Structure 1
Amino acid sequence: MADTSLPRPTFRLALSGMAMGLLVSGCSSSTQSSMVEGFRSDVGASVDTGAFGNATMNNHQYMTGEKTYVYELSQRFASEVMTTVNFAFNSSVLDQGGVDTLREQARWIRQFPEATFRVYGHTDKVGGNGYNKALGLARANTVVNFLVSQGISRSRLEAVVSFGETQPLIVTEGRERRNRRTVTEVSGFVGRHPTVLEGKYAEIIYREYINSAEPSSSLNAQTGNELSIGQ
């Protein structure tokens, strides 16, 4: 009977080949499994961490002019009403000056139902950072609640933010009333509003600001009536 066994070197090569084959087979199985899982997941899922569309959204806002119009409406708001309310030391209670300012803000905001607003709270540097951040938030909430009481929908007051003591107007470690404040700003547009859906941002910005048809005071109205009677 003929000897069919392989020469020793050839036999070793065969064993090595079989081992490599098994290893590759194992890796291949694992790789194939990963590939199958990959096909099951959304394209780009491993890259997108949740902010993948922000750049596109930002570009869209610039191309449609929304970013520019938000800035322009913010400038108009700041030029026509007081945007800042100041507070007493360690307090989030409105004084009469604050109430008057917020009534003016509410009157202006009602003229632009398509716009949203954000209120920022600030403090001076006296006290700990954590406490001051909470105090700034309390002041911002006070302003939001007052605007809501004046007929502004809470859904249009987009967010309440506290910067605490981190953004002082006057750099000092002591008490400073000008640093104890809230600032109201235009933050954007109500996305579901019909005018906004039609992209009529320019019409919103340049709309004439009409207080009302009422006379500025009852005295003026009375004088006018007397004049008309005399004629």
Structure 2
Amino acid sequence: MAIDRRFFLMGAASLGLAACSDPSHQFNREAGISIDEGGFGNATMHNTMLQSGQISLAEVMTRRFHAEVPSMVNFAFDSAVLDEDAKAILRMQAQWMRQFPELRYKIYGHTDAVGTAAYNIRLGQRRANAVMHYLVSRNIPRNSIIAVVSRGESQPLIASEGYEPANRRTVTEISGLVRRATVMDGQYARIIHREYVASATEQHVSQ
């Protein structure tokens, strides 16, 4: 009888150890036993900085924009014509922009270093204008784009004195809000609430 009880206790102990190693039993572990790898409290800190004015809504949304959609489109040599790849990227930009009518944008046109500086300023402007007109054609209000600027060859992505496809580009940037936000005006809260409601809305597909 003593032997049976000993085996029973050994079996119970092994089951207890198995339970501790099972991730589904993590809630039974001692509070604070997990290692904080540096992320704890970041969300609270972020919201506090936003509402206190230490970071702006434009900064927050700029990071989102660059993380969620491509901000650049490229062009053929000496051209301001949007190809299909460029149009696909701009459709993505337009879809993102329509979600956030509070925001305003700037479009910068760039060229490579082939040709004169004066010619490249004009070419960069034509490229920026082409992007602006396409975004407007995708139902982005013209007054959402507050500047269309040419940088010409002055800000290359890759340092090169010759033909460089990566430098023949436009860049879309968030420049700010439709109006200056006060510290506690709830702009970001309204954006998050709108996204939350939209994410919970059932999508009906017509047959």
Conservation of the 8 A alpha-carbon contact between 1:119 and 1:183: yes
Output one character per residue of 1:59-107: Cα deviation in whole Å (capped at 9) or x when no partner: xxx9963962211111100100010000000000000000000000000
Q: Alignment partner for residue 135 of structure 1, among 123, 127, 141?
A: 123
Q: Distance in 1 between matches of 2:152 and 2:67?
A: 25
Determine which of 176, 186, 201 is the counterpart of 1:200. 186
Q: Is structure 2 residue 71 aligned with structure 1 residue 83?
A: yes
1:80, 1:135 → 2: CA distance?
28
Cα distance in 2 for partners of 1:101, 1:65 equals 32
SS at match of 2:179: coil
CA 1:73/1:128 → structure 2, altered by over 3 Å: closer, same or farther? same
- Does residue 101 of structure 2 align to residue 116 of structure 1? no
Whole-angstrom CA distance in 2 between matches of 1:73 and 1:97:
24
1:116 alignment partner AA: R
Correspondent of 2:161 among 173, 176, 183: 173
Matches of 1:171 and 1:71 in 2, distance apart? 28
Paired residue total: 154
**For structure 2, which runs of at least 5 residues remain unmatched after alignment?**
1-49
Q: Which residue of 2 aligns with 1:158?
A: 146
User: In structure 2, how many angstroms separate the alpha carbons of the residues matched to 1:147 and 1:153?
Assistant: 8
Deviation at 1:148, TM superposition (A): 0.4
* Match status 1:107 vs 2:107: no
TM norm structure 2: 0.66
Supply the distance in 1 between the matched residues of 2:118 and 2:137 (Cα, whole angstroms).
29
Contact in 2 for aligned 1:69/1:205 (Cα 8 Å): no
TM-score (norm 1): 0.60
Check conservation: 1:72, 1:205, Cα contact below 8 A: no
**Residues 127 and 213 from structure 1, CA distance in 2 versus in 1: closer, same or farther, beyond 3 angstroms?**
farther
Alignment gaps of 5+ in structure 1: 1-61, 223-231
